[in-house]
Amino acid sequence: MKGTAINWCDNTFNGWEGCTRVSPGCDHCYAEARDARHLTEPFSHWGKGASRRVMSDLKWREPLKWDRDAAESGTRPRVFCASLADWADSEAPSGQRERLWALIRKTPNLDWLLLTKRAGNIRRMLPPDWGVGYPNVWLGVTVENRKHGLPRLDVLRSIPAAVRFASIEPLLEDLGVVDFSGIHWAIIGGETGSGARSIDTVWVEAIIEQCRAQNVAPWVKQLGKVPSDSGAELVVLDEDGSQSGNAEDWNLWPEHLAHLKVRELPSVDRDELTRGRHEADLGRIASELGMLAAGLEPEEAAVELKLREEYISAERKLFLTRLERGQILAAYKALYGPLRKWSKFLRAIGFARRTAYACTVRHRNEQDGATAHERPRAAPDTRLRSSR
């Protein structure tokens, strides 16, 4: 959905709807309550074994338009996925998570914020080409308490990602000392809605201080529905002076809480992300080419090793001329074509057969053109033609 009331993102996207409760942070799940209110089928989409509802193709196409708009405007909208599900759910509809990764790859101008309470599932549910992380994906885990939330941070920090974030919402207790190493962003918020549990401003203040000390960007979303202030009820007044009971709007907070009005974003070096991913891809390609070369005769292996070094060195420049790429591909085709390994080679470097064919043909044509240009021309015939 374009536009959202969630102040730390610009849009939300849900490829499917439905989930299962896994920890205390799920006790008053707004998405589950929403599903019950708008249920049009004879069964719920919540709970173990419940069928998740796949969204329409129209919904799946929306991010493509957001991406085009972002490219035209030069902006990078943040897209929260998924507000009505958990992208790392073991019971996600078959094929839909793969569909999500494909969509993310098609929308490089969007920053996708993937949040989960299932930290243990993250690594095995990442796409095969994840490498050091997609440049446009931020991975996050929910940290609602010490018992369930803090261990999720330990898992998250071990996974390569462009940005790692903690969604400390709903904050249900004082987290104590938090190790934010490897974490870039911390969203802090209280619980809202029916039956909301209290958040204390002292807990929020302690997290902000630890973020500052550990170079983590803090973002205070709100103070929930029933906040406390140093153990006492926090009274929030509307503009007319009546008691509000709404601490979600920080414009209504008392002046002594002004220091909690913090909303910062992590610093992201796009060039560094691109270089890091490119280098990781080259490492993977070099490894796969080495495995493909296993079994070659010594003379062929020596030729392949030289070609591999040339290819990796040339690709490291981030830009290859048509002649350079065509020359290396033509040499590899001459090596692997007779061995029926040409297709495996193209898969290893991520090259389409049609594109490779065009490169090799262009290289051959340029060579033929160069040869023709260098070939000495025949001397002109200066003899006078006889008149008829």
- Write down the pLDDT at residue 342: 93
- Write down the pLDDT at residue 369: 59
Q: How much of the chain, in percent, has pLDDT values that exceed 90?
A: 59
List the structure tokens of 188.
Answer: 């802090």
Which of 187-191, 245-249, 351-355: highest mean pLDDT? 187-191
Instruction: Please say which residue of 200, 226, 260 terminates a domain.
Output: 260
Show the DSSP H helices in the chain as ranges: 30-37, 57-73, 96-106, 122-125, 146-157, 201-213, 270-293, 298-315, 322-336, 342-349, 353-374
* Stretch among 124-138, 221-235, 307-321 having the lowest mean pLDDT: 307-321
- Write down the pLDDT at residue 39: 62
Is the pLDDT at 364 greater than 80? The verdict is no
- Write down the pLDDT at residue 269: 81
CA distances from 29 to 26, 163, 194 (A): 5, 26, 10
379 belongs to a structural domain? no
382 belongs to a structural domain? no
Distance (Å, whole) CA 343 – CA 354:
11
Long-range own/partner contacts, residues 55-59 (CB < 8 A, 24 or more apart) = 55/14, 55/15, 55/16, 55/17, 59/13, 59/14, 59/15
Say whether both 184 and 317 belong to one domain: no
54 belongs to a structural domain? yes
CATH code at position 204: 3.80.30
Q: 68-105 b/e with 16+ CB inside 10 Å = b?
A: eebeeeeebbbbbbbbbbbbbbebbbeebbeebbebbe
- Write down the pLDDT at residue 376: 52
pTM of the predicted protein model: 0.73
- Write down the pLDDT at residue 203: 98
Say whether both 223 and 279 belong to one domain: no
Instruction: Please say which residue of 230, 260, 290 terminates a domain.
Output: 260
Say whether both 354 and 331 belong to one domain: yes
Instruction: Please say which residue of 260, 289, 312 terminates a domain.
Output: 260
Distance (Å, whole) CA 152 – CA 120:
8
- Integer distance in angstroms from the first to the last C-alpha of the chain? 86
Instruction: Give the total number of structural domains in the chain.
Output: 2
Say whether both 220 and 301 belong to one domain: no
CA distances from 304 to 30, 270, 297, 309, 317 (A): 58, 34, 10, 9, 20
Say whether both 227 and 324 belong to one domain: no
4 belongs to a structural domain? no
Domain with 313, as residue range(s), is: 270-372
List the structure tokens of 341.
Answer: 């390994």
Q: Give the number of other CB atoms < 10 A from CB of residue 322.
A: 12
385 belongs to a structural domain? no
Is the pLDDT at 318 greater than 80? The verdict is no
Strand bridging mode 111-116 / 78-81:
parallel
302 contacts: CB under 8 Å, gap ≥ 6 = none
Q: Confidence class of residue 326 from pLDDT cuts 50, 70 and 90?
A: confident
Distance (Å, whole) CA 32 – CA 272:
39
- Write down the pLDDT at residue 162: 93
Q: Confidence class of residue 340 from pLDDT cuts 50, 70 and 90?
A: very high
Say whether both 344 and 215 belong to one domain: no
Backbone angles phi and psi of 215, in degrees to 5: 60, 45
DSSP secondary structure code for residue 234 in this structure: P
- Write down the pLDDT at residue 381: 44
Say whether both 229 and 310 belong to one domain: no
- Write down the pLDDT at residue 380: 46
5 contacts: CB under 8 Å, gap ≥ 6 = none
Residue 110 and residue 71 in contact, taking contact as beta carbons nearer than 8 Å? no
Is the pLDDT at 242 greater than 80? The verdict is no
Is the pLDDT at 213 greater than 90? The verdict is yes
Backbone angles phi and psi of 75, in degrees to 5: -110, 170
387 belongs to a structural domain? no
- Write down the pLDDT at residue 1: 63
Say whether both 226 and 282 belong to one domain: no
- Write down the pLDDT at residue 358: 82
47 belongs to a structural domain? yes
Helix (H, G, I), strand (E, B) or coil at 376: coil
The maximal CA–CA distance of the chain, rounded, in angstroms, is 120
Say whether both 357 and 251 belong to one domain: no
Say whether both 337 and 249 belong to one domain: no
Say whether both 356 and 226 belong to one domain: no
Average pLDDT over residues 130-141: 93
3 belongs to a structural domain? no
To the nearest whole number, what is the mean pLDDT of the chain? 87
Closest CA to 59 of 42, 37, 84: 84
Q: Which residue has the higher pLDDT, 129 or 189?
A: 189
Q: How much of the chain, in percent, has pLDDT values that exceed 70?
A: 88
Say whether both 155 and 279 belong to one domain: no
Distance (Å, whole) CA 282 – CA 310:
12
Residue 165 and residue 156 in contact, taking contact as beta carbons nearer than 8 Å? no
